[in-house]
């Protein structure tokens, strides 16, 4: 029997044609061919990535799932795998307080069901990275970091189903679980291969709705995978500060590599507390590495610095993350309740939601609720308030209480963006309820002239796009890398 040989060029053209017909995730391409043929990643839009939940969460096979669904998967994975999943079930229980031991872990079987506790999720799902202007804490991880996560736990997200869950019912545990889900989604994992447990594992174990045990899984050896092998570019999920300013200025900027303004309009969702939204609470910039200006000792190292100014992004509506969740169980409210909250805040069908919090991590619940419960096109402004509130012009304080007690002179001005810098956000048309924090409490960022007058804030995204290309590598996002100009990346289909 003669084998059939298809010319590589002809096959490549066939692949592009099929991809342009919106076949998801290059699912039609045999795995062996994916390794032989240089395929550009499929580039998704925010609308492509929206996924509405069932009214009854018990009907979901991915996204937000119930304890009953997880129990069904865990107890008989071989016969209960959801469509499209051919590999293992991997359950991550997030416990941000390493001194807490729940002793309630979804029961693994050592064969195709594995359970792990993550005490340090931020080491995998967040990094300090630069967008070309400012370095921000807890930004999405670079490619080699997410691939390290895949390798550490033997994940192949082309085959497996990963379920993130809060170990015990705390807001931090749930937010970090949702952050894990978001990071994998950003790095191209298909929605069918990701889930979040509605309610903490310990809560369900106590209620008798989930079988647990006191041990977790050992490592899986011999399985290697990479975000590169998923061939999917979901970087549109990250909205940059350039995107936000471009929208607020109605497209009248000279920025490069900004995403076009959605034709249906934008709904800015501020997921912070009411006092933070109103500008009456000081936003802590939590990092032990920041050099802060202080009126007594300058500079000092502190983890209690504050942003340059407070307030909210112009036009943003406030729906606090706490209003979405029962904090005692880590369960989300119903889809109808969440949609009603957004409608009450002014969301209209067809708009693209852009979520933000104090940090991108703290906006994780809002993003998940919008994208995977309500099913609205959604992006997350990763820099969030710690970035937006940092970019202002500060003059030295001349208040007598703030002067150097030795010289009786003002201390050097921190965060002094030049008046002409396009990245200043301390203007009333960009920031509502604008309040300036005390000069002696804000961190000093290395805002060089080059950074202050950069034409783009997408260095991080461009680095990630480059990593996804055949033979690509990733930097920390401190310098611009290759890739397409806008809309989440280049598209062979001409979109």
- Average pLDDT estimate for 76-95: 96
pLDDT tens across 165-209, in order?
999 999 999 999 999 999 999 999 999 999 999 999 999 999 999
pLDDT tens across 437-495, in order?
876 677 777 788 899 999 999 999 999 999 999 877 654 554 333 333 333 433 333 33
pLDDT at 270 over 60: yes
Q: Return the structure tokens found at 160.
A: 């497996």
Stated pTM of the model: 0.86
Rg (CA), the chain: 23
More confident residue, 451 or 9: 451
Rounded CA separation 187/144 (Å) = 11
More confident residue, 22 or 220: 220
Task: Quote the percentage of the chain above a pLDDT of 70.
Answer: 80
Q: Which of 36-45, 75-84, 225-234, 423-432 has the lowest mean pLDDT?
A: 36-45
**Domain locations in the chain as residue ranges:** 8-39, 46-235, 237-468
Quick one: which of 271, 258, 266 has its CA closest to 312? 271
H, E, C per residue of 300-336: EECCCEECCEEEEECCCEECCHHHHEECCCCEECCHH
Rounded CA separation 397/438 (Å) = 8
46-235 sits in which CATH class?
alpha beta
More confident residue, 110 or 388: 388
Q: Which of 3-17, 46-60, 130-144, 386-400 has the lowest mean pLDDT?
A: 3-17
Strand partners for 313: 431
Strand partners for 163: 91, 195
pLDDT at residue number 195: 98
Q: Return the structure tokens found at 6.
A: 């298809």
pLDDT at 216 over 60: yes
pLDDT at 1 over 50: no
- Average pLDDT estimate for 207-224: 85
More confident residue, 487 or 32: 32
Task: Quote the percentage of the chain above a pLDDT of 90.
Answer: 67
- Average pLDDT estimate for 127-146: 92
Quick one: which of 119, 329, 118, 114 has its CA closest to 213? 114
- Contact present, 200 and 165 (Cβ < 8 Å): yes
More confident residue, 236 or 390: 236
pLDDT at residue number 130: 92
Rounded CA separation 144/476 (Å) = 10
pLDDT at residue number 476: 52
- CATH code: domain 237-468 is 3.40.250.10
pLDDT at residue number 29: 52
Q: How many CA atoms lie within 13 A of 386 on its CB side?
A: 25
Whether 46-235 and 237-468 share one fold: the answer is: yes
pLDDT at residue number 17: 47
- Contact present, 104 and 67 (Cβ < 8 Å): no
pLDDT at 14 over 70: no
More confident residue, 298 or 165: 165
pLDDT tens across 384-417, in order?
999 999 898 876 667 776 677 788 877 666 667 8
pLDDT at 119 over 90: yes
Mean pLDDT of the chain: 85
Q: State how far Cα 157 lies from the chain centre.
A: 18
Pairing between β-strand 161-166 and β-strand 63-65 as defined by DSSP bridges? unpaired
């Amino acid at each position: 029997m003669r084998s059939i040989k298809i010319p590589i060029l002809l096959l490549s053209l066939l692949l592009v044609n099929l991809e342009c017909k919106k076949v998801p995730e290059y699912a039609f391409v045999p795995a062996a061919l994916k390794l032989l043929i240089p395929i550009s990643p499929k580039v998704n839009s925010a609308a492509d990535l929206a996924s509405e939940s069932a009214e009854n969460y018990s009907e979901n096979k991915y996204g937000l799932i119930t304890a009953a669904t997880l129990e069904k998967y865990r107890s008989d994975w071989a016969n209960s795998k959801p469509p499209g999943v051919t590999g293992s079930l991997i359950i991550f229980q997030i416990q941000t307080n390493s001194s807490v031991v729940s002793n309630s872990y979804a029961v693994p079987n050592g064969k195709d069901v594995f359970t792990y506790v993550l005490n340090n999720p931020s080491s995998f799902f967040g990094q300090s990275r630069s967008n070309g202007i400012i370095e921000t804490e807890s930004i999405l991880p670079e490619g080699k970091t997410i691939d390290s996560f895949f390798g550490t736990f033997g994940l192949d997200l082309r085959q497996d189903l990963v379920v993130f869950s809060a170990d015990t019912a705390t807001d931090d545990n749930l937010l970090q679980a949702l952050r894990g889900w978001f990071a994998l989604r950003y790095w191209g994992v298909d929605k069918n291969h990701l889930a979040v447990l509605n309610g903490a594992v310990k809560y369900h174990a106590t209620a008798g709705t989930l079988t647990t045990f006191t041990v977790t899984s050992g490592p899986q050896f011999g399985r290697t995978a990479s975000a590169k092998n998923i061939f999917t570019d979901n970087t549109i999920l990250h909205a940059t500060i350039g995107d936000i300013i471009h929208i607020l200025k109605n497209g009248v900027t000279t920025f490069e590599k900004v995403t076009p303004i959605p034709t249906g309009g934008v709904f800015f969702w501020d997921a912070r507390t009411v006092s933070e939204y109103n500008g009456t609470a000081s936003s802590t910039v939590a990092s032990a590495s920041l050099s802060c200006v202080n009126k007594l000792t300058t500079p000092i190292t502190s983890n209690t610095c504050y942003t340059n100014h407070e307030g909210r992004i112009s036009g943003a509506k406030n729906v606090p993350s706490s209003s979405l969740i029962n904090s005692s169980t880590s369960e989300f409210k119903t889809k109808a309740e969440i949609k009603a909250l957004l409608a009450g805040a002014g969301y209209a069908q067809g708009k693209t939601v852009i979520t933000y919090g104090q940090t991108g991590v703290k906006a994780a619940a809002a993003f998940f609720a919008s994208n995977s419960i309500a099913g609205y096109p959604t992006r997350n402004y990763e820099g969030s308030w710690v970035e937006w509130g940092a970019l202002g012009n500060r003059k030295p304080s001349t208040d007598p209480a703030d002067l150097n007690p030795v010289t009786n002179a003002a201390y050097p001005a921190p965060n002094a963006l030049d008046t002409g810098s396009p990245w200043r956000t301390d203007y009333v048309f960009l920031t509502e309820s604008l309040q300036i924090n005390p000069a002696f409490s804000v961190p000093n960022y290395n805002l060089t002239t080059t950074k202050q007058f950069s034409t783009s804030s997408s260095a991080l995204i461009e680095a990630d796009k480059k990593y996804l290309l055949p033979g690509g590598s990733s930097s920390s996002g401190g310098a611009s890398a290759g890739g397409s100009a806008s809309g989440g990346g280049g598209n062979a289909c001409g979109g």
